[in-house]
Structure 1
Amino acid sequence: MDEHGPLTVAIIPARGGSKQVPRKNLQRVGGLPLVARAVGAAATAAGIDLVVVSTDDDEIATVAAAAGARVVRRPAELSGDTATSESALLHALDELETAGLRVETVAFLQATSPFIPSEALSAAVDEVRADRADSVFSAHETYGFLWREGEERSAEAVNHEADRRPRRQDREPHYLETGAFYVFRAEGFRTHRHRFFGRIRIAAVPEWTAIEIDDAEQLRIARALAHLYESPQPIPVHAVVTDFDGVHTDDTAIIDADGGERVRVSREDGMGVALLRRAGIPLLILSTEVNPVVRARATKLRVPVLHGIDDKETALRDWARENEVALADIAYLGNDVNDLPAMRIVGWPVAVADAHPLVREEARVVLRRRGGDGAVRADRTGVVELTDIGNPVFARRSPSARSQEGGDRTRVGRPEEP
């Protein structure tokens, strides 16, 4: 990035307060906080030189910075319920100008839109930078018949004649603003103090990306959509932590006449664990179960184990700190609601196919295999996929990547074998 040349800057306003959905900008969709998703969408878009998050909140600032954004701290008077997005954008532009940066084009992204299409955003940036438009916004095509309520709640047609019902192919499409992104000239925005001015164009985006999170129901829909539309990608981690029951087993038990329990495990999972160990990825089994079968299986797999643990989040934090592994670099594989506290603090929450619905909603990856059926080995969309060693889904970060992040954080002191 040439800091002295004219820049295209993505600005994401993300304040800490929210009434309908508490801490909304930090809620996870597809396992990632909304603000981190917006940062990632902007960073992936060609033509954007710098990604900035404007916030009044310390936790949002930390998450945004970890995702690769530059953080502008927003004053309290611009962070209340009545503060406009325009005021946050103008403040961020002033702060960047004070820092000596010359912003020519602004891409305004809203973190509450979890599915910002980077290719459409890049095309919108190109429209403005090529001087074909002054303002471009995301919208999806619709052929819907719109109505409004008039006096005494009588229905009135808006974009059509009520007595005519033309076929879809005979109708002119309309475009519904999604709110995901707006791209405009910085100078024109300062002059008009509004996102729409001059030559305005539409950036058409798929309708499924149009969801905007304003309440808890929309958040649940977004979490479901994430697993339907987003393709699994390789998971760069430094450690893998798994639950036991429902992950290594099918979550059932056989009880004999003396009260002893037997569980069913998959030999494929055993091979998956061996392949992970061979790839140099540390593992831990973390379980609330006190039955000796947990330790027996861990011993067989030669994997460290913590079992009989009621507070998985605290245990995981302690283990990560003792072994010098950043939580963001851990994948946690779980199946039930008692796994959620641990899943929410790691960078890669992963769920087996038959996990509880709330677990699947908050997972970054949902496997195709069920617990006890090779989930730890998985397939091409699953956790380990080390049958092709050259392209594992769980992959240790390269030394060069670690050095860029500020040093090697993979010094894992392996506990004594149980």
Structure 2
Amino acid sequence: MRPPKPQPRPDKVSLWRYLRLFRRDLLSAQPQRLYRAWMAEFRTPFFRSYMINQPSLIDTVLKKRPEDFPKSSRIGEGLRPLLGNSVFLTNGEVWKRQRRIIDPAFEGGRLKDTFPAMLAAARACVDRLRSKAGQNVEIEEITSHVAADVIFRTLFSVPIEHELAGEVFEKFRAYQREQPLLNLAAFVPLPRWMPRLHSRRTRRNARQIRALIGRLTAERAAQIANGQAPDDLATKIMTAVDPKTGYCLGTDEMVDQVAIFFLAGHETSASALAWALYLLALFPEWQDRVAQEALALDHPNFSSMSKLRYSRDVFRETLRLYPPVPMMVREATCPEHFRDREIAPGSQIVISPWHLHRQERLWDRPDDFDPSRWGTENGKACQRDAFIPFSAGSRVCTGAGFAMVEGPLILSMLLRHYRVETIDDKTPVPVAHLTVRSRDGIWLRLVER
């Protein structure tokens, strides 16, 4: 079972043509040989980049020696106006301190505490869609709304209808449309004193989003001081103490962290959910399986999640075919020898889930949509060695467990009540903005069951 084929993959492209194609059409930009290569080299006038697509090399960079390959500051240039000094962009001791404070809030045992908020957001989405039944809908807009609702309910105990939450959501939608995945600074070594090439609108939206988040965190700080704060993720993180240094996040630093929670928790989930619904519209037999098992949510609680096996496998398969973050960039800090290449310090090491998840030497039928693959020996082996939608190692996404509850839950709740169908001449084309989105949206017909 294969989603519609992308345009023919070119055999070779120049760097500059690659960058143009990457913005416009993510699939068409990728030379066919990259889906078989263990490693590839990209040369620019300023530095060299190496894409590694071999599990043992990725394991070295992400798991065995992560401190020798810190997150590249070049990629961060594009996100700095919004994310500031968040855990997504920092390295070294600052990053370690931030993770020691943040990670406990997302530990497995605490996911159960967030389930009611996720369920409430999913139910609210089901209710909102009743007026759209029988219509053609742009599904990314719907999944963005429900994913943002989950973030605000779990972080600040407010629904998206809350005035400040709604403003943040609308500003973030504008920011997402303006901001590419890659900023020119990722490819040109601009001096620190030189202004970064962010549009005026991008900078303005980032300032406004941060100001709104600042109001929410300031209100929460006051509630904590008065002993009246709800026991949600924001309170857990703002009252957490680094066990090593005794440090707590201040209000300003919390703005940075909330910005990345919103980006990582809302943007990535919205992308994955939208592509999952599109794939299920393409393959109605899998949609029926998900809808049938969703009857377990008639009286839902956290233990109900163990019954959503089809939904979990569909969501996992979507993350394989359309990983929300299609590439990660690290920087070599010392001379390296990977395969037959000498890698100089300062070189960029590109790890691409987009390619790794479709690596022809590793996966059976890599371009096919087959949620049942996760029960096969090949699927189990590739899940261990070649499946990194949330990264891996010490920098694995803090919210990975959160996402694997949220995604299958919302998917099941929506399909419990609605069927989605494809629309002729509305085939989505994936492009790289902040996450893998569709160039012209994902349009589906929504039918009430």
TM-score of the superposed pair, with normalisation by structure 1: 0.27
Higher helix share: 2
Structure with more strand by fraction: 1
Larger radius of gyration: 1
Instruction: Report 1 or 2 for greater relative contact order, CA contacts < 8 Å, sequence distance ≥ 6.
Output: 2
Give me the TM-score of the superposition, normalised by structure 2: 0.26
